[in-house]
Chains A and B, each alone.
Chain A
Amino acid sequence: MRPIIRTVMFFCMTLLVLTYAIILAYAADVKESNFNKHVTNIDKLTVRKEDLLMQNEQLEVKKAALQSQLVAQTEKERLQKLDADLAAAKLAKEDLLKQQQAILAAQKATQTKTVQRIQNTKVTTTKTVAKTVKKARTRAS
């Protein structure tokens, strides 16, 4: 065997094996980084999901609070309306009472006048009867 062939062949084979080793190491590195890229992507997505989940919970809480506030507000409005109705009813009642009192007073006044008139008529009648009786006695005597 020629020494030059032996030297060249061993050199080439060593170089080849080293090249393959470098390529395989690079491939392993690429595979790992590719894997890590996917893992990082999943981590990012998971964080985003957690954020959204938290936001979702906060929005649910806010919705519940707003709904209860709205219910309370509606109840308040209903009660206010009831109070206003009650006050109006009271006023109407007072008016009615006043009117009733006025009517009663008017009726009483009318009644008094009528009694007075009847009494006056009675007195007049008594006087007239007495006069007539006196005249009749005078005439009779």
Chain B
Amino acid sequence: MNKILKYSLIGIPFLIGYIIFSSMISTTQWSWYLTRVFGLVSFIFLFVTIILGELRLLSFVKADFKLFKYHIPISIFTMFLVLLHFISAVFDKFMWGKNLVFSDYLGFSFSDKWLTLLSLGMIAFYLLILVGMTSMRKSIIFMGFKRWKLVHFFSYVSFIFAYIHTVNLGTDIKTSAISFLIKPAMMFCFWLVIALVLVRALKSFNVFTDQVEINLVSAFFIILIVGGVFVATIFFSAILNVPEDKVVAAADVSAEIAYYENANDLLMNQNLALEQKLIESGGVNNAPNN
């Protein structure tokens, strides 16, 4: 209870201040920048939260994984970052939020692709809140461990929705100058989690006898899935690759060919008419033949 009070005393005034600040900069580009930054950072923190939980579960002796003590603080901080991302997006009247109303941000708008992706992000946030609220000690005792564990699986669903939302709407991932770095990094994060989830599923059948086996199988699955995704991406981009500059150059030459074909047809007709005229006038055609 003390922790909740401590977090509330720090967090709530900060959030109120941030709401006032966001409303002040809502028409400037800063609101858009803050939305992007908080979105990106909150995804990274969500990944770290999930990977910490995952690595603990992949530890042969769970208590040996010391970094797990950061799982809860980082997950609370992630929720806080997602909330800042949400506030920045709602107050943004510079870029994305210009044509949106508040109800569009609530996760129930699926009228077009863009709004659906936006709503996926919001649903991911709701699931995070659900997972967070049920992860308090009293909630776990109230629900029972098995039910809590089932609810906790929603963090994966939240992560998947957050990934779809981030990859499809994130400006920094799609079009920024550093997208060539961020996009593979995001893909790596996502598929790494998927690979580790598969190893975790395998571990639940008690097939491993020590940590080395778990590590080896994890390495195999990481190479299989993460490597497979990257190799497949590179393969299909190479297969479907169209050198745009060459296509444009070919189109330019084709246009010139069409021009000269027409011009030559016209000249041939003109020359035929001239030859006819020359023959009619009794002249001798001494012009060079083509």
Contacts and interface: CB of A to CB of B under 8 A. Distances in A.
Contact of B260 (A6, A38, A41, A53): A53
A9 B217 contact: yes
A69 B285 contact: yes
Contacts of B1: none
Contact of A70 (B209, B217, B254, B278): B278
Interface in B270-290: 270-271, 274-275, 277-278, 281-290
Interface stretch (B14-22, B166-174, B178-186, B261-269): B261-269
A61 to B, nearest CB: 7
A1 B223 contact: no
A38 B250 contact: yes
A34 interface: yes
Interface in A2-44: 2, 5-6, 9, 12-13, 16-17, 20, 23-24, 26-28, 30-31, 34-35, 38-39, 41-42
Given A5-B213, A66-B285, A73-B278, A59 B257 contact: no
B239 A13 contact: no
Interface residues of B, number: 50
B70 interface: no
A69 B213 contact: no
Contacts of B238: 27-28, 30-31, 34
Contacts, number: 132
Contacts of B290: 55, 58-59, 62
B220 A38 contact: no
A111 interface: no
A56 B286 CA distance: 19
Question: Do most interface residues of chain B lie in helix, strand or loop, or is the interface mixed?
Answer: helix
B208 to A, nearest CB: 8
B253 A56 contact: no
B173 to A, nearest CB: 23
Interface string A59-86: 1111101110110111011000000000
B274 A35 contact: no
B223 A13 contact: yes
B136 interface: no
B249 interface: yes
B281 A70 contact: yes
Interface string B200-224: 0000000001101100110110011
B235 interface: yes
Contact of B257 (A24, A41, A52): A52
B187 to A, nearest CB: 16
B246 A42 contact: yes
21 contacts: A13-B223, A17-B227, A24-B231, A26-B235, A28-B238, A31-B241, A35-B246, A42-B249, A45-B250, A45-B254, A52-B261, A56-B263, A56-B264, A59-B268, A61-B288, A62-B287, A63-B271, A65-B286, A66-B287, A67-B274, A73-B283
Which 3 pairs show the lowest CB-CB distances between chains A and B? A73-B283, A27-B238, A52-B260
Interface of B: 209-210, 212-213, 216-217, 219-220, 223-224, 227-228, 231, 234-235, 238-239, 241-243, 246-247, 249-250, 253-254, 256-257, 260-261, 263-264, 267-268, 270-271, 274-275, 277-278, 281-290
